[in-house]
Amino acid sequence: MGRIARTLQQEHGDVEATLSSITAAAVATVPGTDMASVSLVIHRHVHPHAATSQLARDIDALQSEFDQGPCLDALREEMTVRVPDLGAETRWPRFATEAHRRGAGSMLSFQLFTEGDNLGALNLYAELPGSFDAESESVGQIFASHAAIALSAARQESNLRSAMDRRDMIGQAKGILMERHRLTAPQAFELMVRASSHTNRKLFDIADELTSTGAMPTD
């Protein structure tokens, strides 16, 4: 687990790469796992990510389509959900029937994080029924804890990089205005703020267009 934790921390702010590392490591680590994916719920919409197979991707889509399934329960109820046999499952009849028909035998889902309306779950799939046992659940819970930490760190670093990029872009735009109109830094910034208010656009968008075209947006 220590080696896995270090591996998951190596992507340095690349959220999608971190998600791919999580699902690949889950398949290699949690007993019984054949496939894996991560589901992110953003403002009540489920977005599948980093599925290790087309079948895992399809089953994720089924849960979104039917609005039921172990992943959604893990997300909404903040718990671990184990499905021993999808062919005999009665908690989510529409989802279980279709998932079994497509070739999934059993499932195991863990909540990864809760951040306001944003939720995340790790989904593990097996082709055969009875593939997940108490050991799978125990190992999976520890793995999910490490994965949640790695994903949180990647998202924070990504947000920090984005903020720095935006700050640099605004600084470049200020420099253009200062040189072109012989303005001070506060005056150049105020000019962009007024353009943002006048055009009802974000300050970063004003700066991006100015640095890209050399012209201050007027509408």
CATH of the domain at 182: 1.10.10.10
Q: With contact defined as beta carbons under 8 Å apart, do 209 and 217 qualify?
A: yes
Its pTM stands at: 0.70
pLDDT for the residue numbered 116: 61
Same domain, 71 and 169: no
Residue 147's pLDDT band, with cuts at 50, 70 and 90, is: confident
What average pLDDT does this structure show over 105-127?
Answer: 84
Q: Give dist(CA 207, CA 167) in Å, integer.
A: 10
Asked if pLDDT for residue 111 goes beyond 90, the answer is: no
Same domain, 189 and 107: no
Residue 43's pLDDT band, with cuts at 50, 70 and 90, is: low
Q: With contact defined as beta carbons under 8 Å apart, do 46 and 63 qualify?
A: yes
More confident of the two residues 10 and 24: 24
Task: For the chain, give the mean pLDDT.
Answer: 84
Q: Which of 58-72, 159-173, 187-201 has the lowest mean pLDDT?
A: 159-173
- Count of structural domains, the chain: 2
Identify the domain boundary among 111, 131, 155: 155
pLDDT for the residue numbered 75: 76
**Domain extent at residue 136:** 2-155
More confident of the two residues 42 and 59: 59
Position 218 in a domain: no
Q: Give dist(CA 208, CA 42) in Å, integer.
A: 27
What average pLDDT does this structure show over 153-173?
Answer: 75
What average pLDDT does this structure show over 56-73?
Answer: 88
Same domain, 194 and 110: no
Identify the domain boundary among 136, 155, 174: 155
Q: Give dist(CA 157, CA 12) in Å, integer.
A: 7
- List residues bridging with 120 in a β-sheet: 40, 113
Rounded to 5 degrees, φ, ψ at 7 are -65, -45
